[in-house]
Amino acid sequence: MKRPIPLKSVYAFVAVAETGSMTDAAQLLSVSHSAISQSIKNLESQLGQKLFIRQGRSVSLNSTGRHYYKQIAPALEQIVSATEKLIEQQHSQRITLNMINSLVMHWWIPHVDRFNQFAPNIDIRISNLTGHFKMESEGIDVAIIHGNTHDWSDYYCELLATDELVLTASPELIDVYTTPESILKQYPAIIVTNDRRKDDWKIWCKSHQLPEPAYTQNLKFSASIQAVQATIRKLGIFVSHRHFIRDEVSQGSLVEVGLPICNPNQDFYFACPPEKLKNENILLLRNWLRQEFSQ
């Protein structure tokens, strides 16, 4: 087997040929001037021929160098192109998916195994930005919006599911005679105080024509994940978003009391920049989300 030409020497040769300067070639390849100079010397030594005419600090190809450049430059371009395509293909398998943290904790994590079985080659990266943001500048491919689409008119939005509010409790706190009205009289209400959740009890009580629990006489938490855990531990009862407690209900650690009601203020939406719909993996993710949210 013939002794191979080091690829770094070929890169150095093409860079010097195209820039006409070893200094500029060094900057282009992010190496030192001496590294470029040594690569060119090694290449000329291995070929047994000079390739450049040196004129002070500038260099230019001689006739041999020009002939060599015409032969290898297209081949090097093919190497670079093939490498970039492989990298792009790898990155195209990666989707950055944004959703609020409570949805990650209550819905996404319990469904990860199901998605990995559905699309084992897609790499999902989770982001937890809240409020309105520009997906492109934040590096977000897809967002699951829990709210409305008023601020997302520049994006493709598709309804995944209506949002339902439901009263939940530990199964140890109820019996066959329990009603929403009776359990409210027996146990403290667990309230989440953040802006996204603070009206949940009000909306639920208004729909059921029941008095809203007193704010000062009940348990309060800043996040729904805390409230769910407190409910599981029988510290009180909690009005939750139904999709957030599906896993706990299926495992028997929580039960629904009474009928759920539609939340008039927010629903669940799939959103992405319109051009992202050309990506087959994003279409796969959308189809899977449609299926999961419909159950």
Residues 43 and 141 reside in one and the same domain? no
Query: Based on the structure, what is the number of domains in the chain?
Result: 2
Query: Which residues on neighbouring strands pair with residue 190, listed in sequence order?
Result: 219, 238
pLDDT in tens, 154-208: 999 999 999 999 999 999 999 988 999 999 999 999 999 998 899 999 999 999 9
Tell me whether residue 1 is in a domain: no
Asked whether 236 and 188 are in contact (CB, 8 A), the reply is: yes
Residues 81 and 152 reside in one and the same domain? no
Token pair 């140890």 in the structure block, residue: 172
Q: What is the CATH number of the domain that holds 82?
A: 1.10.10.10
| Lookup: tokens for 18 | 């195209």
Host domain of residue 162? 94-294
Q: What is the CATH number of the domain that holds 239?
A: 3.40.190.290
pLDDT in tens, 209-223: 999 998 777 899 999
| Lookup: tokens for 250 | 């299926």
Q: How far apart are the first and last CA of the chain?
A: 62
- Tell me the helices (H) and strands (E) count for the chain, helix number first: 12, 10
Cα–Cα dist 47/3, whole Å? 11
Mean pLDDT, rounded, for 228-257: 95
Asked whether 95 and 125 are in contact (CB, 8 A), the reply is: yes
pLDDT over 90, % of the chain: 72
Picking from 161, 154, 103, the residue whose alpha carbon sits closest to that of residue 129 is 103
If DSSP codes are grouped into helix, strand and coil, which group holds residue 104?
A: helix
Residues 168 and 288 reside in one and the same domain? yes
pLDDT of residue 82: 78
- What's the angle, vertex CA 233, arms to CA 232 and CA 236, rounded to 5? 85
If DSSP codes are grouped into helix, strand and coil, which group holds residue 78?
A: helix
Residues 106 and 150 reside in one and the same domain? yes
Cα–Cα dist 149/49, whole Å? 67
What number of other Cβ atoms are within 10 A of residue 37's Cβ? Answer: 16
Cα–Cα dist 285/177, whole Å? 42
Residues 180 and 200 reside in one and the same domain? yes
Residues 211 and 74 reside in one and the same domain? no
Q: Which of 69, 91, 113 is the last residue of a domain?
A: 91
CA dihedral defined by 269, 270, 275, 281, rounded to 10 degrees? -170
Residues 117 and 199 reside in one and the same domain? yes
pLDDT in tens, 52-111: 998 877 899 999 999 999 999 898 888 887 777 666 655 568 999 999 988 999 899 999
pLDDT of residue 89: 54
pLDDT at 144 over 90: yes
